[in-house]
Amino acid sequence: MRHCVLMAGIGLLFLLSGCQTAERPTTSGTSQPGTAQSTATPTGEEVAVLTTAPNVPPPITRKAPTTVVVDLEVVELEGQLANGVTYTFWTFGSQVPGPFIRIRLNDTVEFHLKNHPSSKMPHNIDLHAVTGPGGGAEASFTAPGHETEFSFKAINPGLYIYHCATAPVGMHIANGMYGLILVEPEEGLPKVDREFYILQSEFYTEGNYGDPGLQPFSMEKALDERPPYVVFNGSVGALIEENALEAKVGETIRLYVGNAGPNLISSFHVIGEIFDKVYVEGGDLINNNVQSTVIPVGGAAIVEFKVEVPGSLVLVDHSIFRAFNKGAIGMINVQGEENHEVYTGQQSTKVYLPEGSAIQTMPKSQAPKVPGAQNKEERIKRGETVYKRNCAACHQINGQGLATAFPPLAKSDYITSPEIVTNAVVNGLSGEITVNGQTFNSVMPQLQLTDEEIANVATYVLNSWDNIGGEVTPADVQKLKK
Ligand SMILES: [Cu+2]
């Protein structure tokens, strides 16, 4: 969940980007030992530093266990799930995922759970780091406008999921109630340059991916395990573009990766890197030189790698439709000197024409023998089907495009006439273009569609997503081809 908006009638204002509550101490994306340590209370306890994803609290420098106070507030609020799509999230700490909690082996955690009076539901918390019934769930069952307290001793090191476990459990998890708690071993973890918090989860909306507006939870899709959204850190886009992670060549990176599900196992992978080290399932077992690591639902993994060359590393669930079509994608932009010994980049490009054609084409679609669209409305409706089959893979189902690769068709200021769209589909498009202030320099292949299909899809694009409107007929397509 990226941007939170005011939920009607609650009167709490959540600011952009992670919606941190003002009193909560947080750290920056880079953990620096010795900074922003937990603060001691008058009774000698410590108040835990809690951070908003992708930030991780600083390593613990204490050499002995202590009592750590964790104070967490449950708030139900409306926030952004994707561009133009909102959802009523149930949250720990007004953020999805909930804050990262970092403690040390044998610490005693004094856990306070508050449920905001505006909540409609009771909630609780099951921390997988707890040894005890329900992981704390029964002890922390909290009605709206109440606060509960329980304590536990962290007797096993590792990286653990926490989640709400109030019935219906699946629904509480599906609505955003989860996070990570790290129990550091006594000696701590080896020093790295940067640490980040990443949590994968699904959202089950009534509408399809990208359908705009406030989307209700779909119990049917949740039961069928058919999520329209699979995301990192609570929303589509939480880790790309202006939210991409940053690193420098030569640095070591540690990712704390959790999978809250509620249904799908993650095949976590970073395109362009190899994990030097994986703490398998977040435990003590270390595997080296791993391409993709399986993260079970209700599980986690710690992965580490050194970045050797500049460029963009892409975090994905390698069940790849989830990444490119449902939101499970993130980026680490690495700055620094090229190292051609490790990676040259492209050294040459030549035309390769085994079949003698100079035009890049896609296979011809079978033209069904049906009468053409009779009016504009019908053309738009049929065009939508053509769009979903032929264009959505690149321009995305709701026309928003894909950062740096495929320009948006939604509200495109490049589309100044119907011919622009028709021409792109008839002839393909290449060379530098600017769409809504962003430049693209790529190739759109020529698509082998019938004149009728081209007319329909062009008319659909023109009349969707706040574009200029208008109609393209098969006769117009013929004219343009001549
Ligand atoms: Cu709950």
Could you read off the pLDDT of 122-137 as tens digits, one per residue? 999 999 999 999 999 9
The percentage of the chain sitting over the pLDDT mark of 70, rounded to a whole number, equals: 87
Distance from the alpha carbon of residue 213 to the mean position of ligand 1, in angstroms:
23
- For residue 358, pLDDT beyond 50: no
Distance from the alpha carbon of residue 179 to the mean position of ligand 1, in angstroms:
13
- For residue 117, pLDDT beyond 60: yes
d(CA 227, CA 221): 6
Distance from the alpha carbon of residue 94 to the mean position of ligand 1, in angstroms:
13
- For residue 267, pLDDT beyond 60: yes
Please identify which residue in the block is written with the tokens 């079970």. 296
Alpha helices for 159-225 (secondary structure H):
169-174, 219-224
pTM to 2 decimals? 0.66
Q: Identify the burial level of 351 via C-beta atoms within 10 angstroms of its C-beta, where 0-12 means exposed, 13-18 middle and 19 or more buried.
A: exposed
Distance from the alpha carbon of residue 123 to the mean position of ligand 1, in angstroms:
4
Please identify which residue in the block is written with the tokens 């106070």. 69
Distance from the alpha carbon of residue 177 to the mean position of ligand 1, in angstroms:
6
Distance from the alpha carbon of residue 166 to the mean position of ligand 1, in angstroms:
5
Distance from the alpha carbon of residue 27 to the mean position of ligand 1, in angstroms:
26
Name the band, by pLDDT with cuts 50, 70 and 90, for residue 266: very high
Distance from the alpha carbon of residue 351 to the mean position of ligand 1, in angstroms:
58
Distance from the alpha carbon of residue 90 to the mean position of ligand 1, in angstroms:
7
Could you read off the pLDDT of 419-431 as tens digits, one per residue? 999 999 998 898 8
- For residue 440, pLDDT beyond 70: yes
Distance from the alpha carbon of residue 377 to the mean position of ligand 1, in angstroms:
45
| CB atoms inside a 10 Å sphere around CB 243 | 16
* b/e burial code for range 154-190 (CB count within 10 A of at least 16 → b): beebbbbbbbbbbeebebbbbbbbbbbbbbbeeeebe
- The token duo for 170 is 């699946």
Contact 249, 307 (CB under 8 A): yes
329's CB contacts (< 8 A; 6+ apart) are 232, 239, 240, 314, 315, 316, 323
Q: Give me the pLDDT at residue 397, please.
A: 86
Distance from the alpha carbon of residue 413 to the mean position of ligand 1, in angstroms:
43
Q: What is the mean pLDDT of residues 71-90?
A: 96
Name the band, by pLDDT with cuts 50, 70 and 90, for residue 380: very high
Distance from the alpha carbon of residue 273 to the mean position of ligand 1, in angstroms:
37
Q: What is the mean pLDDT of residues 304-322?
A: 96
Q: Give me the pLDDT at residue 444, please.
A: 84
Distance from the alpha carbon of residue 180 to the mean position of ligand 1, in angstroms:
16
- The phi, psi pair for 380, rounded to 5°, reads -65, -45
Distance from the alpha carbon of residue 8 to the mean position of ligand 1, in angstroms:
20
Q: What is the mean pLDDT of residues 139-145?
A: 95
CA 436 from chain centre, in angstroms, equals: 23
Distance from the alpha carbon of residue 297 to the mean position of ligand 1, in angstroms:
17
Q: What is the mean pLDDT of residues 277-299?
A: 98
Q: Give me the pLDDT at residue 357, please.
A: 44
Q: Give me the pLDDT at residue 332, please.
A: 97
Distance from the alpha carbon of residue 119 to the mean position of ligand 1, in angstroms:
10
- For residue 250, pLDDT beyond 50: yes
Distance from the alpha carbon of residue 296 to the mean position of ligand 1, in angstroms:
21
Name the band, by pLDDT with cuts 50, 70 and 90, for residue 11: very low
Q: Give me the pLDDT at residue 392, please.
A: 84
Could you read off the pLDDT of 144-193 as tens digits, one per residue? 999 999 999 999 999 999 999 999 999 999 999 999 999 999 999 999 99
Distance from the alpha carbon of residue 114 to the mean position of ligand 1, in angstroms:
12
Q: What is the mean pLDDT of residues 457-470?
A: 97
Distance from the alpha carbon of residue 439 to the mean position of ligand 1, in angstroms:
44
CA atoms within 13 Å, Cβ hemisphere of 276 = 11
Which has the closest alpha carbon to 406: 398, 365, 416, 273?
A: 398
Distance from the alpha carbon of residue 178 to the mean position of ligand 1, in angstroms:
9
Distance from the alpha carbon of residue 164 to the mean position of ligand 1, in angstroms:
5
Q: Give me the pLDDT at residue 385, please.
A: 87
Distance from the alpha carbon of residue 91 to the mean position of ligand 1, in angstroms:
8
Alpha carbon separation from 408 to 228, 277, 389, 401, 436 (Å, rounded): 20, 38, 17, 4, 8
Distance from the alpha carbon of residue 136 to the mean position of ligand 1, in angstroms:
13
If you average pLDDT over every residue of the chain, what do you get?
88
Q: Give me the pLDDT at residue 345, please.
A: 82
